Structure 1
Amino acid sequence: MFRKLILSSAILASSLFGGDINVAVAANVSYAIDDLKKEFNKLYPNTNVKVTLGSSGKLTAQIKNGAPYDLFMAANMKYPETLFNEDYAVTRPLVYAQGSLAYLSSQKQDFSKGIDLITQENIKKIAIANPKTAPYGKASVEAMKNAKIYESVEKKLVFAESISQTVTYALTATDIGFIAKSSLYSPQMSKFKQGVNWYSVDSKLYTPINQGIVILKKAQSNSEAAAFYSFILSKKAKKIFEDFGYLIP
């Protein structure tokens, strides 16, 4: 019932209303968020969407400590579910997209070896996001453990604070990295080629990464926040997510 009210508010929200909405966004969405904002502003040109990027764990901690966010777009369902259960969010988490993992290297790699590639002697350092705070890091560890190679590569792991920092590490500080596939769809990444510099990680090796959105308590009466929430769950937004390598459940 409450979600119906939220969506009704979104429909009633007018472009005549102007103001800021603050959205906490998981780092892996950093590559798609500009396109999402542009499409949203075609409908609501006077609404300024202010974005704070970070790992889902850190953003959740900020929300619990009073950060003035209106919405939270997380990299998995765990954190928004916690916020809802602890009364920081006013809507149950809904999946807006599914994320997937890819390998990335600045050097040509033999991806025909699959995940066993990272056990090779020439791979001395492997970048992953911190599995304690970043869902993509947790999925990376899960993939290695399910492939029964984690113990043999554990000492090679270099931990980044977020999935976006992992991309930087993969290209500059390590031999290869586990990244969000969505990051490969930014213009800056076009020079890196599939099968040469990057390849998808076998999705059977890790649990699908359902990414969830909630409206936070601060914005429970904010029609512009409701409008953005509705937009992120719309067909137009789903098309953008697909264009950036996400899966739509």
Structure 2
Amino acid sequence: MRGLILLLLFVPELVQAQKLRVAVAANAQFVMEALQAAFQKQTGQQLETIVGSSGKLTTQIQQGAPYDVFLSADMSYPTTLYGQKLTLAAPVVYAYGSLVLWTTTNLPLSADLSVLLSPTVRHVAIANPNVAPYGEAAMTLLNKRKLTGRVQSKIVYGESIAQVNQYLLTGAADVCFTAKSVVLDPAMKGKGRWLDLPAGYKPIAQGVVVLQRTTQPRLAQQFITFLRSPAARRILQQFGYKLPTT
């Protein structure tokens, strides 16, 4: 009986200590670290992040993964989940992302992407466009520049932006298309050179949604509200994201 009483006394603390599980598209991996620290400082609540491509995370959610919140690299995946009644509400845009061309070599970078045709460029890393919105944007840009067929043999696909970054930093790729938020992470300072590619593809509207399976709906909504706060918006801007109007 005494043990039961002690357990009941500690249940509120155990619930309070439970982390909010946030599935995060790989483009937002680094900005999420800063957001996580700011959220914990402001609320005392901890987050657990699960990073992957938007498509892969969506599949996991459809298969019952116990996530509370989903930050996608686009609006399509969370909208699909909403249509399947796997979210508590419709997704909202929390930021707009953009592409950059990144290299750790001395290759000359230009907006026409002609560097990709150079014989010194053997491998070009791009996130899988079937599951990663930034990969889809990169392929759209290549198509507009009429370069897809000419560089197809050089393309190596990463499962997500995170794997694309790994290909570049380990030398497996000479150049890559990645998210601007990646190269603006302080840990990446001095690691290569990059060129902003702000146009040539649809704006990458990134959506966030609370998932139906959440066990902490109030805390999940608190995090959504935090993403619209001045503190969070400043962090997102520091990592190169454009913001939706409030």
TM-score after normalising by structure 2: 0.88
For 2:57, the aligned partner's letter is L
The amino acid that maps onto 1:183 is V
Partners in 2 of 1:245 and 1:223 — Cα distance? 29
CA contact (8 A) 1:90 1:220 kept: no
Inter-partner Cα distance in structure 1 for 2:122 and 2:38: 42
Write the distance in 1 (CA, Å) between the matches of 2:196 and 2:110. 11
> Which residue is 1:175 aligned to?
174
Counterpart of 1:237 in structure 2 is: 232
Distance 1:64 1:113, change over 3 A: closer
Deviation track 1:67-101 (CA, whole Å, cap 9, x = no partner) reads: 00011000001100000011001111111111111
Matches of 1:31 and 1:204 in 2, distance apart?
Answer: 23
Residue pair 1:102, 1:179 contacting (<8 A) in 2 also: yes
1:207 is matched with 202
2:138 equivalent to 1:140:
yes
- Taking the aligned partners of 1:179 and 1:136, their CA distance within structure 2 comes to 7
Greater Cα offset, 218-227 or 22-31: 218-227
One-letter identity of the residue aligned with 2:41: K
Matches within 5 A, 1:93-112: 93-112=91-110
* Structure 2: distance between partners of 1:221 and 1:112: 47
Alignment of 1:1-249 (within 5 A): 17-45=16-44, 47-112=45-110, 114-171=112-169, 172-192=171-191, 197-201=193-197, 203-219=198-214, 222-249=217-244
Structure 1: distance between partners of 2:215 and 2:33 = 24
Q: Tell me if the contact between 1:95 and 1:213 (Cα under 8 Å) persists in the aligned partners.
A: yes
The one-character-per-residue Cα deviations of 1:84-134 (angstroms, maximum 9, x if unpaired) are 011001111111111111111110121246312212222121000011100
Q: Which ranges in structure 2 are unaligned for 5 or more consecutive residues?
A: 1-14
Offset of residue 39 of structure 1: 1.0
Give the deviation of 1:229 after TM superposition: 1.2
Which has the higher mean CA deviation after the structures are superposed, 59-68 or 115-124? 115-124
Deviation at 1:19, TM superposition (A): 2.9
Q: Secondary structure at the match of 1:108?
A: coil
CA distance in 2, matches of 1:77, 1:225: 18
Gaps of 5+ in 1: 1-15
Distance 1:112 1:94 in 2: 34
Identity %: 37
In 2: Cα distance, 1:128 partner to 1:233 partner: 30
Instruction: Work out whether residues 68 and 213 of structure 2, in 8 Å CA contact, stay in contact via their aligned partners in 1.
Output: yes
SS of 1:32 mapped into structure 2: helix
The alpha carbon displacement at 1:53 in A equals: 0.5
Contact 2:90-2:209 within 8 A present in 1 as well? yes
Q: Aligned with 2:162: secondary structure?
A: helix
Aligned residues: 229
TM-score (normalised: structure 1): 0.87
- C-alpha deviation, 1:24, in angstroms: 0.5
Indicate the SS of the match to 1:109.
coil
